[in-house]
Structure 1
Amino acid sequence: MATDRSPSIRKLMRESYGNIRHEYDPWHVNKSLKKKLVSVSNKKNYRELRPWLRSISNHLYWACSSSHGDEQECVRRWTSVLHHIRGIHRWEENGREYQCAHPPLSEEDQEKKRWLEHDSPAFRALKELVEEKTLLRDLRQMALFEHTGSLEVFHNVTLKYAPKRLHFTYDSMRARTELAVIDHNINIGREQLEGKPQYKYMYTKTTQQWVAKPVYEPTSQDFRKDLMEDVLKLREEKSLEPWPRPPPRPRRLLQNIAPVPRPDPSELVAQRLSRFKQL
């Protein structure tokens, strides 16, 4: 089971569902890591980190996807970024020799890279983030490289039919959720546009870099027309009885979500006027 890093879910899975392997979605972990890296790289003494932000983010995904369920290997591959970022591509660790998984770099590429110095403030700050105890602990629950992206996509489709800011009755909410399910299932697995793969280019303010994102085929909404035609056909054949109007239900909506009752309006107005008088 894959989830985000919610402490309550973590505790629930540990205490009540110990027989189920609980994994974290790497996207949520990576998002938190990028925020910390951007915050550090914006400081004057750590700006050498800025060109490496995307590479460090990609390295986290690679460490999780290539470890094939081995928790220790996932952690080791993640911490290997501390060697690569200094231009060290072969090193010894615990009596064993390791090397970077990328192809050998030419002398020209080696000279172009802005490698970090071992004693630089930027490297020390990165080392502290990479070897953070909570991150290393959570990496052990990311070795299967499981994602919750498809669920996030479905939730986004559901918001189109049932916005959170509006209240719906049970029958309406059920029907809207069923429409969201149909919409999601029909449009899942869309490919990139035919012909030469197309991309859209976006500049992210967070990393201050340009990125390419694939452009997929547009979603299909033909199911709505088909659904309406089926309903009208069944109605004409009188094989579909009119839906009985449910009896009106009292709406039990709170007037507000404040934890304390509202004071008398005259008291609130008096407080506001007294503040202006003090000015």
Structure 2
Amino acid sequence: MVSVGTQLSYSTLKNHVRSKAVQVSICNTAGTETSQQDTRFKLSSTPGKASAPSLGVRPAKRPRLELQEDEEDEGNLSENAQPHDSTYDLDDSPSEMRGMESTCDYTDPKYIVFESCLRDLFQTCPVCRWECVVQQRSLGTFVSFSQRCPNCQYTRKWQSQPIKGNTPVGNLQMSAAVYFTGASFIQMEKICKAMNLQMFHYDTFRRHARMFLEPAINHKWKTDQQTLVERLKEKDKIAVGGDMRADSAGPSPKFSSYALMHLDSNNIIDVQLVQSNEVGGSSNMETEGLRRGLDFLEAHLLDVDYIVTDRHAQVEKHLKERNVEQYYDVWHLEKDLSQQLENLAKNKECLVVRKWLPSIKNHIYWTATASKSGPEKVAKWKSLVNHLQNVHKHEDPLFPRCTHPDRVSRDPNKWFQPGSLALNKVEKLLLDKQILHDVEKLSHDHQISSLEAFHSTTERFTPKNDVLSFIGRLCRLYLAAMHFNENGKRDQSTSLEGKAVYKIMFPNCSNGQYITNPNQTAPTFQYVSDLMKLLFKKIFEDPTRYIEDLNEISIPEDRWTQFERPS
């Protein structure tokens, strides 16, 4: 084979023009027939280590993960071979393609391009205008084209995205975008299939998650958590709120998450994930989650002033043993009493109860916030029974008389009649011994409504109908905590005139009655940008240390391992 050529004036094409044997800037081939059989390849979604090529030295080929059937070399397989993964050989690409590996960044804008539009760019030779032979290779969101002119032997290769290691950057960034935003890959895959947008397989997504995404989430959460702890150490004592959320409704959930919140700043301090079989059943999950959370606070030398929780009996017993002061959230008591009163109002002889439901609900909150003293709360709570009969003087010395002026109505239907069935049932319910005990412990300062809002946030990151592994669910809880801490205290939005904006809502529990809530500003997603930067700048280069940190998390055995599987 002899290559004879003339110097071309196409200076912009000289790096693309090459022969089979020698890459030069002159490309006219005379008197020979060159056999150029393009070997098919695919790219790897699992990166391999590759050193940057030095000047004048041919870079070593990256380890192959899987070779195609038409390739002759079958002895260089990797242990992590996947059925749809292979290696892109950068040696076969022009020099400017190898430069693209380092110049392109994950922050570059992306566009949806049709395949027919791309093929139009490679149909004809830019030198002699002949029709070229075009070969296409793809893996997930990546696509490349090889162009060869049969007339002047002009060749060119083009790829749609940069490659780092042996991984297309777009594939990894797609996995990261789905995971970091709390989205579902299955739903994303359905969307891509509906519009015939090329996407990689679920196995590739899970491999990205294990090697890069979950270590990045774990590292960032631990870093943010440590920063929050150091800030809280400056305070003498902190008030926290705690509550549990189960992964499924019913008496036997598999997972439950227990969150501790700093009530002054509305920041999530710690999230604990508990599996039912590691604590002997779902009834012990809330207590175990609380115990782990308090152990974390003690290990980091945070002194708890008091904790606000629901009215769980085992939680109360555990806090007494640890000598931690406990208060009850008002909403949980109001919800329980409202349900019982609504059931009572269905009786024909107790229809007057329904008229008093809003006032009774307001009285619960007024009793809790009016005083810190437990006995004074009970005295004010007992005054509610006198109000129902239009009596405003009380026998209790702590609260002998109401502070508002007497209002006497001539309509007897507005009040409970002494000795009536309705009054007896309401009085029995409101003055129950357990209710009086719970009223005495109602929180006077903070409530855990923000913690309930955090549980609503976790619904978007860990839907109850999604089947997730222990680490996968824990990392998504960390994402929910990062999102909530960043957006937990958003400002109220204003109009162009500078006026505060509100929105009208109709809650299901209000039976058509509306409420007004401040309209908050749009949420931000800075934590997603920080995770992307951490992924591509640090973890992708060397994930070993981050994977080791993730492996330190204790993972309980699955519940099915306790049972014998049938043949």
Q: TM-score, normalised by structure 1?
A: 0.74
Partner residue in 2 for 1:230: 533
**Superposition deviation, residue 150 in structure 1:** 2.4
Flag structure 1 segments of 5+ consecutive residues without an equivalent: 265-279
**Superposition deviation, residue 42 in structure 1:** 1.1
Cα distance, 1:34–1:208 mapped onto 2, change above 3 Å: same
Partner residue in 2 for 1:43: 347
Equivalent of 2:482, from 182, 202, 210? 182
Query: What is the letter of the counterpart of residue 434 of structure 2?
Result: T
1:142 aligns with 2:442: yes
User: SS state of the match for residue 167, structure 1?
Assistant: coil
Query: What is the letter of the counterpart of residue 368 of structure 2?
Result: C
Query: What is the letter of the counterpart of residue 441 of structure 2?
Result: Q
Cα distance, 1:92–1:51 mapped onto 2, change above 3 Å: closer
Contact 2:386–2:394 under 8 Å retained in 1: no
Q: Percent identity?
A: 24
What CA deviation, in whole Å up to 9, does each residue of 1:177-220 have, x standing for no partner? 3322221111112344322442314164x564513141431541
Cα distance, 1:201–1:105 mapped onto 2, change above 3 Å: farther
How far apart, in 2, do the equivalents of 1:256 and 1:111 lie? 71
Equivalent of 1:133, from 414, 427, 433? 433
User: SS state of the match for residue 80, structure 1?
Assistant: helix
Contact 2:502–2:517 under 8 Å retained in 1: yes
1:59 aligns with 2:360: no
What CA deviation, in whole Å up to 9, does each residue of 1:41-85 have, x standing for no partner? 111110111011011011011001101x21110001111111112
1:85 aligns with 2:391: no
How far apart, in 1, do the equivalents of 2:456 and 2:342 lie? 27
How far apart, in 1, do the equivalents of 2:565 and 2:534 lie? 49
User: Matched residue pairs, number?
Assistant: 249
Query: What is the letter of the counterpart of residue 462 of structure 2?
Result: A
How far apart, in 2, do the equivalents of 1:262 and 1:188 lie? 46
Cα distance, 1:246–1:189 mapped onto 2, change above 3 Å: closer
Partner residue in 2 for 1:4: 310
User: SS state of the match for residue 98, structure 1?
Assistant: coil
1:214 aligns with 2:514: no
Query: What is the letter of the counterpart of residue 211 of structure 1?
Result: Y
Flag structure 2 segments of 5+ consecutive residues without an equivalent: 1-306
**Superposition deviation, residue 227 in structure 1:** 2.7
Query: What is the letter of the counterpart of residue 317 of structure 2?
Result: K
Query: What is the letter of the counterpart of residue 135 of structure 1?
Result: I
Cα distance, 1:177–1:243 mapped onto 2, change above 3 Å: farther
What CA deviation, in whole Å up to 9, does each residue of 1:225-256 have, x standing for no partner? 63366347736xxx962435969x99964459
Contact 1:190–1:216 under 8 Å retained in 2: no
**Superposition deviation, residue 7 in structure 1:** 1.5
How far apart, in 2, do the equivalents of 1:21 and 1:123 lie? 35
Contact 2:311–2:332 under 8 Å retained in 1: yes
Query: What is the letter of the counterpart of residue 431 of structure 2?
Result: E
Contact 2:308–2:448 under 8 Å retained in 1: yes
Contact 1:50–1:207 under 8 Å retained in 2: no
Greater relative contact order structure (CA < 8 Å, 6+ sep): 1
Contact 1:26–1:145 under 8 Å retained in 2: no
Equivalent of 2:326, from 7, 17, 22? 22
User: SS state of the match for residue 416, structure 2?
Assistant: coil
